[in-house]
Structure 1
Amino acid sequence: MEIRKILNNNVVVSQNGSKQEIVVMGRGLAFQKKVGDEIDHSKIEKTFVLETHGISEKLAKLLRDTSEKYLDISAKILDYAQSQLPYKLDEYLYVALTDHLSFAITRHKQAIHLKNPLLWEIRKYYKQEFQIAQKALEIIEKETGIALGEDEAASIALHLVNSQLSGENMATAVQITEMVNTILNIVKYHFKMELDESSVNYERFLTHLRFFAIRFVRKEKLEETVDQFFFEQIKLKYPEAYICTEKVATYLKNQFNWSLTKDEEIYLTVHIHRVTNRHKLK
C-alpha cells in the first residue's frame, strides 16, 4: 500500500485492494516520506474509506490548520453513529465534524460557551441523533478530558441530521428544524392539545414532516396524482384536520412562497387526523 497523497506527517491518502481511496492515520506515518513510498503497516492506527471524490482535498486543507486528533475523534463518532442510524452518513461529515470539534474545544478552552437556540427542538424532534450526540460527548471527553455541554450535543446532532441532505449547509438543517417546529405548533394550537410524543402516530407524523421539509429545501415537488373526487372525500371525512392543513398551507405560502399540491394536502390531512384523533380517543 503506497502513499498517494500526504495530508500531514500523521495522515496520508492511499488506495485499498478494491481501488477505493482510503485515509490512513498513524503517528509519524509520513515523516520523511514522499508520494509513491510504501506505507509502514506497523504505524497504521486507523483507516477509513472515502467514496466521494474531492473529500480528501477538503481534509488536506482543513488539516493545515487543525490537529488530526480531531479527525480521529470524528471518525470514532461517525463509526458509532453509522452503526446506529438507518441512513447512510455523508462523507463530508469527516470534514464538517472535524472542523466543528476543533472550534468547539478551542472555544471551551477560552471559556466561551455558546448556547444552541435549537437545543430544545433538536432534543425533542431528533431523538436518535441527539442520543448519538450525547454518546459523542462521552467519546470527546474520553479522548480529550474535556466535557462539553448539551448545547454542543445539539450541534453534533444537527450535523447528523444535515447528513441526510448530502452535504448541504447547516443553515438548511436549521431551516428544516424550524419548519417542523412551526407546523407542529400550528397543529397543537389549532386542536388546543398537547400531542402524545410517545405514540407511533406522532413518530410517523414527525418523520413525514422531516421528509416534507427536506423536499422543500431541495425544491422537490410531488407530481399531482390524486383525482379531485378523492381529494374532496378526504376533506369531507376529516374536516377539522383539513382546516388545520389549510393553516399549514397558509404559513408555507406566506413564509416560503410554497404552494402545496393536493397530494401533499392529503398526506398532511391524514397524518394530522391520526395524530390528533388517537389522542382524543385516548
Structure 2
Amino acid sequence: MQIKKVFNNNVVLTENRHGKEMVVMGKGLAFQRKVGEAVDHEQVEKTFVLENENVSDQLAELLADVPETYLAIAEQIISLAKEELGVKLDDYLYVALTDHLSFAIRRYEQGMSLQNTLAWEIRKYYRKEFAVALKALNIIEAETGHRLDEHEAASITLHLVNSQMSGEGLEEVVETVGIVNDMLNIVKYHFQMELDEDTLNYERFLTHLRFFAWRLVRKERLQYDADDDFLYQQVKKQYKEAFLCSEKIKKYVENKCEWSVSNDELIYLTVHIHRVASRHQLNKNHSE
C-alpha cells in the first residue's frame, strides 16, 4: 500500500487492492513520510474502507484540528452500529461523528452539559439506534475516562439515523422526529388512547410514519400509479374512524409542510392507523 494522502503523523489515506480508498491509523505511521511512499504494515493499528472518495478531503480538514483519537472512537461506534443495525451507513458519518465527539468531550471537560430537547422522542422512535448509542457511551468512557449522559446518547442516535438516510442535514432528522411526534399525537387524541409501543403493529406504523415524514422534509414524492379510486372508497367506507384520523393528519401535513397528500398516501396511512388502533382496542377488550 502506498500513501495517497497524509492526514497527520498517525493517519494516512491509501488504497486497498480493490482500488477503494482506505484510512490507515497507527502511532507515528506518517511521521516524516511523504505521498507515494509505502505504508509500514507493522505500524498499522486500525483500518477502514471509504466508499465515498469525497469524504477523505473532509477528514483531512477535520483532522488538522481534531485529535485522531476521536476518529478511532468514531470508527469503533460505527463498526458496532453496522453490526447491530445491519444497515449501510453513509461514509460522512466518520466526519460528523468524529467532529461531534470532539466537541462533546470538550464540553464535558469544561463542565458544560447540553440537554437534547428531543431525547425522549428519539429514545422512543429510534429504539435500536438508541440502544447502540448507549453502548457507544461505554466505548467513549473506556477510551476517554468520561461518562457522558443519555442526552449525549440521543445526539449520537440522530447521527446514526441521519447516516442511514445518506445525508449531511442533521436538522432534517430533527424536523422528522418532530413531525412523527405530532402525527402520533393526532392518532392518540383522535382515538383517546395510548399506543402499545411493544407491538409489531406499532413498529410497522412508526416505520411508515418515519419514512413518510422523511419524504415530507425532503419534499420527495413517491411515484405511484394513478390513484385507485375504488380502493380509496373501500378504505374510506370500511375504516371510517381511521380514515377520519388520517384526514386530520393530512390537514396537519398540508399546513405545516405545504404538502398535498395523495389518495394513495391517505390509503396507506388509513390502513396503518386502523391496524394499530384496532389492535389496541382488541387488547383492551381482552383485559376487561
TM-score range (shorter-chain normalised) is over 0.9
CA distance in 1, matches of 2:242, 2:254: 18
Deviation for aligned residue 1:164: 2.0
TM-score (norm 2): 0.96
C-alpha contact (below 8 Å) 1:52/1:91 kept by paired residues: yes
CA distance in 1, matches of 2:140, 2:228: 54
What is the root-mean-square deviation of aligned Cα atoms in Å?
Answer: 0.8
Deviation for aligned residue 1:224: 4.3
Opposite residue 181 of structure 2, the aligned amino acid is N
Report SS of the residue matched to 2:89.
coil
CA distance in 1, matches of 2:70, 2:110: 18
Q: Which runs of 5+ in 1 are unaligned?
A: none
Asked if 1:252 is matched to 2:261, the reply is no
Aligned equivalent of 1:140: 140
- The superposition leaves residues 135-162 of structure 1 with CA deviations (integer Å, 9 ceiling, x where unpaired) of 0000000000000000000000000011
Opposite residue 270 of structure 1, the aligned amino acid is V
- The aligned runs of 1:190-201 (5 Å cut-off) are 190-201=190-201
C-alpha contact (below 8 Å) 2:172/2:217 kept by paired residues: yes
C-alpha contact (below 8 Å) 1:2/1:37 kept by paired residues: yes
- The superposition leaves residues 145-194 of structure 1 with CA deviations (integer Å, 9 ceiling, x where unpaired) of 00000000000000001112212311000011001110000000000000
Aligned equivalent of 2:4: 4
CA distance in 1, matches of 2:274, 2:155: 33
CA distance in 2, matches of 1:272, 1:39: 57
Report SS of the residue matched to 2:112.
coil
Aligned equivalent of 1:69: 69
C-alpha contact (below 8 Å) 2:216/2:257 kept by paired residues: no
Deviation for aligned residue 1:222: 2.6
Deviation for aligned residue 1:214: 1.7
CA distance in 2, matches of 1:86, 1:142: 24
Opposite residue 7 of structure 2, the aligned amino acid is L
- The superposition leaves residues 31-81 of structure 1 with CA deviations (integer Å, 9 ceiling, x where unpaired) of 011111111111100000001021010000000110000000000000000
Aligned equivalent of 1:164: 164
Opposite residue 136 of structure 2, the aligned amino acid is A
Aligned equivalent of 1:114: 114
Deviation for aligned residue 1:218: 2.5
CA distance in 1, matches of 2:88, 2:69: 24
Asked if 1:151 is matched to 2:151, the reply is yes
- The superposition leaves residues 248-268 of structure 1 with CA deviations (integer Å, 9 ceiling, x where unpaired) of 011111111111111100000
C-alpha contact (below 8 Å) 2:29/2:43 kept by paired residues: yes
Q: Which runs of 5+ in 2 are unaligned?
A: 284-288
CA distance in 1, matches of 2:150, 2:91: 24
Report SS of the residue matched to 1:7.
strand
Opposite residue 244 of structure 2, the aligned amino acid is I
The percent identity for this pair of structures is 59
Aligned equivalent of 1:87: 87
| Count of residue pairs the alignment pairs up | 282
Aligned equivalent of 1:280: 281
Report SS of the residue matched to 2:31.
coil
TM-score (norm 1): 0.98
